Chain A
Amino acid sequence: DPQKAASLLRKQWSLYSVTPLYKFSGARLKEYARLLGAFIAAEKQKGLAVEVGVDADVKVTFASLPELRGDPQDQPAMLVQLSSRSSVSPKSSDEKLIWSGCFCCVSGEDLLENVPEDFTCLPLFLANGAESYTAMVGSWFQKTFDCHFCRLSISPLNLSWMAAMWAGCSVEKNACATELVFSVPCLPQPLDISYAIHPEDAKALWDTVQKTPGEITQEEVDLFMDCLYSHFHRHFKIHLSATKLVKVSTAIASAHCNGTIKLLQSRYLTGVLMLLTELAISQIQ
């Protein structure tokens, strides 16, 4: 269902790393939905017991997204959605999506290849919606599959990688500007510097930096950023290298160092998720 994957686009996602799920089975998603539904109902009305399988205000669905993976060894991604049923008319058409979360692993199997059979590797988790629901779903997964969720923040170094990689992607003519946001440290008041570049200029710069297409090295990323810094310094006499890169936003995606991301292009969806999977794995290993 390509529509399901498309639902990942144009939403603000909070990133988490998740340790391998113990005794998780992709064949029992329906059952998990019932159990999680009852858990959420019980959490919401603290102190009152809820029978598993009885319709509650919040409906839970689990869906498999097999197209969201890098290679066949990857576990199929899993989309968890919470929707509220209106109490007035219990028709399914009135359901409103209130929270979604996506577990995925894009080209991560080779990094986690030594994990035994009982474990399922879906190291990257994206959540959109109220944090209270993230907390409920997360605690349920932690209790049920003995896994652990951890916020995944993105270091400035990784943000610069994203800036470089995404600068190299070809986009439409009228794409929005590439914007880098820097935060100046050690000031009494927070000061952010926004650096916007025309995407075609960014691509042109990256093309002069990159030696072998399809391959990126740290030196190339550093050089790309240094070029941008020196250009900025020439005009404003500010050394951006002394500040901290906090946000990168391009036509492909936008990422913030606090661990949130917005995915904008379906064409580059798996590519971005692959990079994030790598970050998540390095956090849990």
Chain B
Amino acid sequence: SEKMQRKQSSKNSKQPLQVHHSNQTDLSAWRKGGKPDPEKSLQNPTSHNSQANESEQDSFEQAVSYFEKVQSPVSLRKNEVLQKHLATVESTALEKGLPPEAFDVLLNVALSGKFADAVNTRLLKSLIPASVIPESSLVSSVSWLCVSKCSGSIQLLFIRWVISMFDFIDHKDQLHALYGFFFSFLQDEKMCPYVCHLLYLLTRRESVKPFRIRKLLDLQAKMGMQPHLQALLSLYKHFCPELVSITLSGRMKTYFKNSEGPWKAAISAIRRRNQKKSPVFQPLLLGTTQHQSRKRKWNTQLILPASSASTSNLADVKDKNSDLYNISKSFPVEQLQTFSQLLQNIHHLELPSQMGSVLTHPLLLHYMNCIKDESIYLRLHYWMGQTLQEECTWCVVDSSQYEEEFKDFLEIVHKAECFLQEGFSSCEEFLYRSLPFWDGFCCRSQVLRLMTWIPLSSFSEMKSYLYGPLAQLFFTSSLYFKCSVLESLKELLQNWLNWHMIELGSESDSQNHSLNTTLSGLVNVVAELIHFVGRISAIALQLENNVTFLLYFILDFYETVCDIYLRYNLPLLIMPPAGVFYPALLSMDSVSLNQLCYIMYRYRTNLVAAKENEMIKKKVLQFQFSSQTYQEYNQYLIAMVGCLWTSNAFQKDIHPEGLRLDEEVLKKTRVKDFKNSFNIVYHPALMGYALLFLQQAWPDDNTFNFSLIKGRKWNWYLEYLYAQGLKGLKLFIESSISRVSLVS
């Protein structure tokens, strides 16, 4: 063509001179870069290395300039100069790779047919970049290819070289412009597989044209089912499903012959060297190659759809020109590979045809997080709702064999929820539908984790849908299951409270709340959850004989509950039921007692803060803690102080389910000094500490006389307890007990 001719002529006249000039300067620059550190050479008086290096550079420069200037064909066998320069190029390439500037010269020589194929082959094989390959050198090479000065085998080797070095080419825009030239090489039967591979690397949506598809189909008709054609055609289908259709069998693993052969070792060496610099090349996924692990009915396969172009979006515009315009504007999701791409194209991102694919696409999840498009959520909702319903291994007959698959799916859904910090409504519905049939065993941890993301809504049917079935399972299952449920309900509570905080923060700027919630409705739903946990906890403690492990999970839940007012700005404080409070207070374990002390301290802090706010604002607040809450707190406080400190709990405890006991009854127990039984010295959870304290304070006394701990020793003992890590106890005593009387 005319264009080609022009290129050729410019090559013959001006270009060599320019190239010559720039090469000289650039090469010396490269040499400077390669010089060893001057300080190092100073330390080394012989500086042998440096000199050796210098001469290496010189000979390489000489070699390049030789290849640049050589005019007439030379035979390798007779020409020692050529042999020497060729060897220099080869050794430099293998040792440290060639500088970017050398490629233009060497490619020109190798493809111009000046030398015999043996020389050209050796040159091509040694074209290993030190860093990058300039795109311009490839452009001029392609023009050589078009005038067919070199043999077919050299052309083939060149194409294989381009494929192998594709990642190292500095820019690709001009290469894309040469797409048509590469495409024309498909004619050559030997070249075809490699050209297909190269085209596969180069193809963008705008490269796919009806005439190219027809050409490929002609080739397919001529050559039959060829993996390389299949791969290229399926990429075409990927970009333009409205033009071509193909179904791959999925058995195929590799579609292209390996091109890297001669450069394999060198490439991995450069990759290692440039690890940080070069972008990781990610080949496009062939959407149809998902393997199916089993034979099942077509519409009941649990396959996450691959993201792929959508025909329905594309064909919207009939007019071809505006169609083209649209294509250049929209950014196909299959090209989306980095976060910065997402940021640049966020306003014209073309979404996948099946929304289910976002679940495994972290970038699209980012997108979902910031775009408020109802249809995106709705598409996902429908798909996920149906998939969960169909695949649920304990609801669908004969599906128990697919439990592992279903587990993985639930896992993926849960991960997406964590990422979005938001529950899917389809998951909520799924839980409500399937929990009544759940055995508490199948996919246990996945189901419990999904539970933590049930959305907070003020109209609550949770009592019948969630709490009912869950309570049944809870009471009839193992200790471990009970603890897992409590853990999940704690996370559910925390997610709700976090969500409430975020809503509070964004209240001013957004009027359309995702849920039209009122504060009182919200408080009621949260309170319902806390009361539910309180109820099942009290019963579980009885069932499991107040085992510490369970108590830990229960108190952990209340660590969140006691701080709701201050930490989450929600006017709600609910005390634990007596069935939880007393087992913790009388626990045999210092961990539980310490946890309870901490919780009581936080309740106090929250209640005090609420009282203060009431006083300051002096207006009638919409929400006040009822006097009952304060009363309950005070009852517990009296019992606690009575036990741990003043040793009068049996008389003073006024809680209806409390420790108050008649003197007569207590005497019948024949316990000496029963009054003291639960103070910080005699409390079963702390007696061990008291014992160790005695041993340290009176090393010679073996009588274990606990009554020695009083007065100043009592204070020392307290310090000792605090030093043992009982921080909760410390906070409680320091905040809730007036020590004035004791100091005297």
Contact = CB atoms under 8 A, between A and B. Distances in A.
Interface stretch (A147-155, A161-169, A262-270): A147-155
A80 B354 CA distance: 22
A50 B225 CA distance: 12
B353 A48 contact: no
Contacts of A151: 297, 299-300
Interface string B352-381: 011100000000000000000011001100
A149 B299 CA distance: 6
Contacts of A195: none
B271 to A, nearest CB: 33
A135 B299 CA distance: 7
Contact of B245 (A16, A38, A138, A149): A38
A18 to B, nearest CB: 9
B247 A150 contact: no
Nearest to B299: A149
Interface string A198-234: 0000000000000000000000000000000000000
Interface stretch (A23-31, A182-190, A251-259): A23-31
Contacts of B305: 143
A178 interface: no
B389 A150 contact: yes
Contact of B382 (A25, A52, A284): A284
A19 B216 contact: no
A143 B245 contact: no
Interface in A1-39: 16, 19-20, 22-25, 28, 31, 35, 38-39
Contact of A118 (B225, B246, B299, B375): B375
Interface string B471-511: 00000000000000000000000000000000000000000
Contacts of B704: none
A243 interface: no
A147 B382 contact: yes
Is chain A's interface secondary structure helix, strand, loop, or mixed overall? Answer: mixed
Contacts of A38: 244-245
A69 to B, nearest CB: 22
Contacts of A144: 310-312, 353
B244 A116 contact: no
A90 B243 CA distance: 24
Contacts of A145: 312
Contacts of A43: 247
A116 B312 contact: no
A237 interface: no
B383 A52 contact: no
A19 B383 contact: yes
A49 B233 contact: yes
Contact of B214 (A23, A42, A51): A51
Nearest to B389: A150
Contact of B246 (A48, A143, A149): A48
Given A135-B299, A139-B298, A49 B379 contact: no
A41 B245 contact: yes
A49 B217 contact: yes
| B214, B315, B375, B383: most-surrounded residue (chain A CB, <10 A) | B375
B312 A24 contact: yes
Interface string A125-158: 0000001001100110011111111110000000
A115 B244 CA distance: 32
Contacts of A146: 353-355, 379, 382-383
B230 A47 contact: yes
Interface string B283-313: 0000000000000011110000100101111
Given A138-B299, A142-B354, A150-B386, A49 B246 contact: yes
Interface residues of A, number: 43
A134 B378 CA distance: 25
A50 B386 contact: no
Contacts of B379: 22, 146
B157 interface: no
B385 interface: yes
B247 A47 contact: yes
B422 interface: no
Given A42-B246, A47-B249, A50-B246, A134 B241 contact: no
B244 A51 contact: yes
A28 B233 contact: no
A119 interface: yes
A2 to B, nearest CB: 31
Nearest to B225: A47
B145 to A, nearest CB: 27
B382 A35 contact: no
Contacts of A91: none
B245 A23 contact: no
B216 A49 contact: yes
B245 to A, nearest CB: 4
B53 interface: no
Contacts of A25: 312
A46 interface: yes
B256 to A, nearest CB: 16
B249 A46 contact: yes
Given A47-B230, A143-B354, A146-B355, A42 B382 contact: no
Contacts of A28: 315
A148 B310 CA distance: 16
Contacts of B242: 31, 35, 52
Nearest to B305: A143
A230 to B, nearest CB: 31
Contacts of B216: 49
B387 A135 contact: no
A16 B298 CA distance: 13
A168 B244 CA distance: 53
B403 interface: no
B390 interface: yes
B220 interface: yes
B519 interface: no
B235 to A, nearest CB: 11
A204 B521 CA distance: 53
A149 B382 CA distance: 10
B213 interface: yes
Contact of B298 (A31, A42, A47, A135): A135
A135 to B, nearest CB: 3
A220 B434 CA distance: 30
Given A28-B315, A116-B375, A150-B390, A48 B298 contact: no
B370 to A, nearest CB: 20
27 contacts: A19-B385, A22-B312, A22-B379, A28-B315, A31-B242, A31-B315, A35-B242, A35-B245, A38-B244, A47-B248, A47-B249, A49-B217, A49-B220, A49-B237, A50-B217, A51-B217, A139-B298, A143-B308, A144-B310, A144-B311, A146-B354, A146-B382, A146-B383, A148-B299, A150-B386, A151-B300, A284-B386
Sorted nearest first, the 4 A-B pairs with minimum C-beta distance are A135-B298, A19-B382, A38-B245, A49-B246
Interface of B: 213-214, 216-217, 220, 225, 229-230, 233-234, 236-237, 241-249, 297-300, 305, 308, 310-313, 315, 353-355, 374-375, 378-379, 382-383, 385-387, 389-390
Given A16-B299, A138-B299, 4 more contacts: A24-B312, A31-B315, A49-B217, A144-B312
